[in-house]
Structure 1
Amino acid sequence: MDAHRLLVFRQVARSGSIAGAARVLGWTQPAVSQHLRHLERQAGLPLVLRRPRGIQLTEAGRALLEHADALATRLHAAADEMNALARLEGGTVRLAAFPSAAATVVPAAMSLLAARHPALDVRLLQAEPPEALELVTAGEADLAMTFAHDGQPFTVPSGLLGVPVGQDPVRLVLPNGHAQAGAATVDLRDLAADRWIAGCERCTAHLERLCLAAGFTPDIRHGSDDYVVAQSLIARGLGIGMLPRLALRAFRDPGVTVREVPGLRPRALHLIHHREADRIPAVRAAVRAVHDAITE
């Protein structure tokens, strides 16, 4: 199977149309269509269904796209590795990270990388874990920083590798005037009558699971995955919530009190990348820098 045509097919799939792929590649539409027809003959199966507003991948097309993405990653690895060998330093690493990490750990890691490898080009993309994983899978990011709460399954898509880089404790956040604000630690059972501010879908599920284990269903009145908004609501007495330490490092509203909850386990932090990408010097350096930034 022709590798060049496989990459042309990948561009068609990612663009959603032959016309879109032609614009990205700088080719004519007939040229792209011809490569696609040749690849379909080699595959022995139709790869796309042509629609009035673009294309739709067939089952065979979706399967082949996974191989095309892997090929694109390998080619990117080869190009970066050759560049690093020629210059001893250099290359590019694209890091996707969730907001609180993008505001704390990632800038610290980027600062370390700038000091250690001045020629390395680091690009930050802010994305929640599911979207960050999609960026890595599609070859649009080299690394994804993700988290998983205790009790939540942590699964890495096929072809990717998860590297643990640390933990992020979760804290209870109360308005300053709350009845439990003066306690050193707080038992969740004492908060059964409170109103709650929830976060992202995964964080909300974690909150509900913890409260149910404590014997009650949380009265969730508001939801925001923005830690500034969540703290603003809490500071004004509109509810209480749970936030990870990274979010509280990034921003701390003076109107809130932070307390520990006994037995509340931290969320696990991971860096996700293609298995082949650990051969890219820039990726290896970025993994080390993130780990160092978390542990320093």
Structure 2
Amino acid sequence: MAEPDAPDAAAPPARPAHSRASLARRLRLQQLMIFEQVRASGSLLAAAGELAMTQPAISKALRELESQVGGALFVRGKRGVTPTELGRRFEPHAASMLAELRLLAETLNATQAGTRGQVVVGTLISASAALLPEAIERLRRAAPDVVVSVRVGPNTLLFPLLARGELDVVVGALPGAAAVAGAESARLASRPLYDEALRVVVGAQHPLARRRKLALAELMALDWIVPTPDSMAWPSVRAFFGAAGLPARRTESVSILTNLALLAGSARVALMPQAAAERFAQGGQLAVLPVRGLGAFGAVGYTVRADRAPSAATERFLAALRAAGEHLGRGR
């Protein structure tokens, strides 16, 4: 029996199936928009409605895209569609390309009008109650046609989105260098606006709301609301309670709405970022207690991409942030 032919060691390696040039020839931007909408909607029918297209047109575009990338992007089922492994790997690249397309549209619009566009903002708890609302109000007065989209989440979610271009700016307590992955850190630049501190607060109708002097020892038996252990303020929380240790009766939460509801309906006491505490005290919802021992726990500011100039709309928003930060930081 003849021996099988040995592989030709001198044969050239197989050419890769994809290259930048081949993808540029085959892919269409509309296909990326359709892919992203189907992923977000979870069904072809819902995506068709959002894009004002027919379902057959959506299906055809997806089939063409799957043919071009060399595999299925979604698994079709009775309850809709879910991304395949290839679809999950394709998604961040599609999102990044669409984000760049949005920036191109904003650049063109800003060149023509100067006061239109969209700013996508990621926010942390320390900014959502005071700094961000004031900045949006200032922006609205200066450029009323700029649309601001706000996403709330932790650093671990927001900074990767910023690095990929899906967010224009992240606003809140600035993290330490170790909190941001190395590759992301090199692409990001932060600007501090003011130092944030914690304050002890109660509901406006709390029996202690009108006290002029209070010691921490008088409050230890109460039910407390404190920031979560993964928050930027946690080291300051531990330092504040010191040798007494954390209160036995406590809720750990950084949800402003949850904390306000708990304080309004009970005798609880809470630790809250100073800017938020002062904002809600001015609105008559909370009272800030005169308890000493709480200093600054970190800087509040904003983070942007270091390797890309902001759009005109984002630059207007950053100017509004700086003005709001100056106002909130005055007197601290």
Tell me whether the two structures share a fold, i.e. TM-score over 0.5.
Answer: yes
Max Rg structure: 2
Report the secondary structure of 2:104's partner residue.
helix
Partner of 1:155: 180
CA distance in structure 2 between the aligned counterparts of 1:60 and 1:45, rounded to whole angstroms: 7
Structure 1 residue 68 and structure 2 residue 94: aligned? yes
Partner of 2:42: 16
Q: 1:284 aligns with which of 312, 315, 322?
A: 315
How far 1:246 moved relative to its partner? 1.5
Shift of the 192–246 alpha-carbon distance from structure 1 to 2, 3 Å rule, reads: closer
Cα contact 1:195–1:239 (8 A) shared by 2: yes
Partner of 1:245: 274
Structure 1 residue 198 and structure 2 residue 230: aligned? no
Shift of the 275–78 alpha-carbon distance from structure 1 to 2, 3 Å rule, reads: farther
Structure 1 residue 77 and structure 2 residue 103: aligned? yes
- Correspondence list, 1:95-244, <5 A: 95-97=121-123, 101-115=127-141, 117-118=142-143, 120-123=145-148, 125=150, 127-129=152-154, 133=158, 142-147=168-173, 154-155=179-180, 161=188, 163-166=190-193, 167-173=195-201, 177=208, 182=213, 190=217, 193-199=220-226, 201=228, 202-203=230-231, 206=234, 210=238, 214-215=242-243, 216-222=245-251, 225=255, 226=257, 227-232=259-264, 238-244=267-273
Amino acid at match of 2:198: V
Report the secondary structure of 1:219's partner residue.
coil
* Number of matched pairs: 285
CA distance in structure 1 between the aligned counterparts of 2:300 and 2:201, rounded to whole angstroms: 21
CA distance in structure 2 between the aligned counterparts of 1:273 and 1:15, rounded to whole angstroms: 29
CA distance in structure 2 between the aligned counterparts of 1:210 and 1:286, rounded to whole angstroms: 35
Amino acid at match of 2:318: V
Deviation per CA, 1:107-166: give whole Å up to 9, x if none: 432343345x435424354735479839967988644433368x8963379597463343
Deviation per CA, 1:195-221: give whole Å up to 9, x if none: 342256455982796169834243134
Q: Which runs of 5 or more structure 2 residues have no equivalent in the other structure?
A: 1-22, 328-332
Report the secondary structure of 1:251's partner residue.
helix
Shift of the 135–286 alpha-carbon distance from structure 1 to 2, 3 Å rule, reads: farther
CA distance in structure 2 between the aligned counterparts of 1:231 and 1:194, rounded to whole angstroms: 16
Cα contact 1:110–1:122 (8 A) shared by 2: no
Partner of 1:295: 326
Shift of the 69–134 alpha-carbon distance from structure 1 to 2, 3 Å rule, reads: farther
Cα contact 1:77–1:277 (8 A) shared by 2: no
Structure 1 residue 48 and structure 2 residue 48: aligned? no
Shift of the 273–220 alpha-carbon distance from structure 1 to 2, 3 Å rule, reads: farther
CA distance in structure 2 between the aligned counterparts of 1:41 and 1:275, rounded to whole angstroms: 36
Deviation per CA, 1:248-272: give whole Å up to 9, x if none: 121125655143425x442443435
Shift of the 85–94 alpha-carbon distance from structure 1 to 2, 3 Å rule, reads: same
Structure 1 residue 261 and structure 2 residue 289: aligned? no
| Coordinate RMSD, CA, aligned | 4.1
